[in-house]
């Protein structure tokens, strides 16, 4: 048992009983400090789980607690005070909590820059290579029609196709990093599920390889098609993880977030604020839901021009466009 918990247990009234659900109950120490009658019916309870504990008063409703990795909350400090601990000792416990926090492994802070090379499903070739073999396959034709139908061009990406069953009705998009393939997604071009078959690694940012060039900015979007449409990067979700953030920061360019035009899209803007990135929500028509739609409707150049023109910076301005997304219908 750690010092924080043992200190509290030593201070709480000794007359205790075990009650259902793992609570140990005693006369609460909080109520009379909060304008309620002192508890005489053992309405205070503490429940422990390893080093963590929760205090709950079923008389006045006061709650406090601590678990490894957390600092002492103001309620928790208050509880110690009411239980009879002096300020100096409370300060010492605060340091104990801080030490715990510093020594905790923080999985969300572990950066993963090592991406292993993976193989595409077999046999895969770029669509151009398939066509150059003279292959005339209706499924391959359907895949080409799909990509052109989405307003994409054959030379915007190294589109692939795999002739194996289970893949042949999909457009394969390989994920590259430092020239090697580290994942892929296969977008179904006909009705049916799953829409995407994806093999990806945590921390990967799609299309980052192509950002080392003269552009002063990098456009961050959610999906692969959005990224390909304007030659930006995709985080493939609406919230980047720490490794993705670190990869983007390392580019040393202006980062412009362009969220999907739906409510979850607002989450990306939170990260734009935290990381001091720009964000853009151009006034495209209402039925244009993402960058890929915009490129299909307006073309690549106009889409890019509006993204740049309408980009904003700073918490206040980004929060305004964040609200717009949050207020959209489901």
For Zn ion, which stretch binds (CB under 5 A), given 20-28, 118-126, 176-184, 248-256?
20-28
Nearer to Zn ion, 59 or 243 (CB): 59
Which residues sit opposite 233 in a β-bridge? 220
Q: Please state the closest distance from residue 47 (CB atom) to Zn ion, in A.
A: 16
Of 8 and 57, the one with the shorter C-beta distance to Zn ion is 57
The H or E element that residue 102 is part of is helix 87-103
Q: How far is the CB of 290 from Zn ion (least distance, A)?
A: 52
Q: Output the smallest distance, CB 34 to Zn ion, in A.
A: 6
- Which residues lie across from 220 on neighbouring strands? 233, 257
Among 26, 55, 62, 159, binds Zn ion (CB under 5 A): 62
Binding window for Zn ion (CB under 5 A); candidates: 52-60, 158-166, 170-178, 209-217: 52-60
Is 25 an interacting residue with respect to Zn ion (CB under 5 A)?
no
Among 4, 8, 12, 60, binds Zn ion (CB under 5 A): 60
The DSSP call for residue 263 is G
Q: How many residues bind Zn ion (CB under 5 A)?
A: 7
Nearer to Zn ion, 34 or 270 (CB): 34
Contact by Cβ (8 Å): 231, 206: no
Identity of the residue, 17 or 213, whose beta carbon is nearer to Zn ion in the bound complex: 17
Q: Which residue has the tokens 């709650």?
A: 63
When the beta carbons of 82 and 176 are compared against Zn ion, the nearer one is: 82
Give the three-class secondary structure for 140: helix
According to the binding rule CB under 5 A, does residue 257 interact with Zn ion? no
Is 59 a binding residue for Zn ion by CB under 5 A? The answer is yes
- Cβ proximity to Zn ion: between 60 and 288 the closer is 60
The CA distance from 151 to 298, in Å, is: 10
**Which stretch, 50-58, 113-121, 149-157, 202-210, contacts Zn ion (CB under 5 A)?**
50-58
12 contributes a contact to Zn ion by CB under 5 A: no
DSSP class of 16: -
Contact 117, 178 (CB under 8 A): no
What is d(CA 123, CA 297) in angstroms, rounded to the nearest whole number? Answer: 34
Q: Are 95 and 122 in contact (CB under 8 A)?
A: no
Rounded Cα gap, residues 241 and 204, in angstroms: 9
Nearer to Zn ion (CB atom), residue 26 or residue 175? 26
Does position 57 interact with Zn ion (CB under 5 A)? The reply is yes
For residues 42 and 247, which CB has a smaller minimum distance to Zn ion in the complex? 42
Terminal CA-CA length for the chain:
48
* Distance of closest approach, residue 277 Cβ to Zn ion, in angstroms: 46
Q: 218: which strand partners?
A: 255
Q: Within a 13 Å sphere around the CA of 110, how many CA atoms are in the beta-carbon half?
A: 7
What is the spatial distance between Cα 225 and Cα 252, in angstroms, rounded to a whole number? 24
SS3 303: helix
* Sign, Cα dihedral of 228, 230, 233, 236: negative
Q: Is 30 in the site for Zn ion (CB under 5 A)?
A: yes
Residue 29 binds to Zn ion (criterion: CB under 5 A):
no
Stretch that binds Zn ion, among 62-70, 102-110, 217-225, 321-329 (CB under 5 A): 62-70
* C-alpha dihedral sign at 262, 266, 268, 272: positive
**Minimal distance, residue 73 CB to Zn ion, in Å:** 16
State which residue, 57 or 269, has the beta carbon closest to Zn ion. Answer: 57
Question: What does the binding site for Zn ion look like in residue numbers (CB under 5 A)?
Answer: 28, 30-31, 57, 59-60, 62
């Amino acid at each position: 048992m750690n010092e924080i918990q043992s200190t509290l247990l030593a201070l709480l009234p000794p007359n205790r009983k075990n009650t259902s659900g793992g609570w140990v109950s005693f006369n609460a120490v909080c109520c009379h400090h909060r304008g309620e009658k002192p508890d005489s019916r053992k309405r205070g309870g503490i429940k422990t789980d390893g080093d963590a504990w929760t205090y709950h008063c079923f008389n006045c409703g006061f709650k406090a607690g601590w678990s490894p990795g957390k600092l002492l909350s103001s309620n928790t400090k208050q509880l110690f005070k009411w239980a009879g601990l002096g300020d100096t000792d409370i300060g010492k416990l605060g340091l104990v909590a801080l030490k715990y926090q510093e020594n905790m492994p923080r999985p969300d802070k572990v950066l993963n820059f090592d991406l292993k090379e993976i193989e595409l499903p077999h046999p895969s070739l770029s669509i151009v290579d398939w066509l150059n073999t003279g292959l005339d396959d209706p499924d391959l034709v359907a895949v080409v029609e799909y990509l052109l139908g989405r307003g994409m061009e054959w030379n915007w990406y190294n589109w692939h196709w795999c002739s194996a069953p289970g893949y042949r009705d999909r457009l394969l998009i390989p994920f590259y990093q430092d020239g090697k393939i580290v994942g892929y997604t296969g977008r179904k071009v006909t009705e049916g599920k799953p829409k995407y078959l994806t093999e990806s690694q945590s921390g990967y940012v799609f299309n980052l390889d192509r950002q080392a060039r003269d552009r002063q900015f990098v456009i961050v979007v959610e999906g692969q098609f959005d990224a390909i449409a304007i030659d930006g990067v995709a985080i493939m979700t609406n919230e980047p993880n720490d490794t993705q953030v670190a990869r983007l920061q390392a580019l040393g360019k202006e980062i412009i977030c362009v969220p999907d035009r739906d409510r979850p899209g607002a989450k990306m803007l939170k990260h734009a604020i935290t990381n001091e990135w720009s964000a853009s929500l151009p006034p495209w028509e209402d039925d244009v839901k993402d960058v890929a739609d915009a490129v299909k409707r307006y073309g690549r150049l106009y889409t890019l021009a509006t993204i740049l023109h309408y980009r904003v910076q700073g918490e206040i301005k980004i929060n305004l466009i964040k609200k717009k997304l949050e207020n959209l219908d489901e």
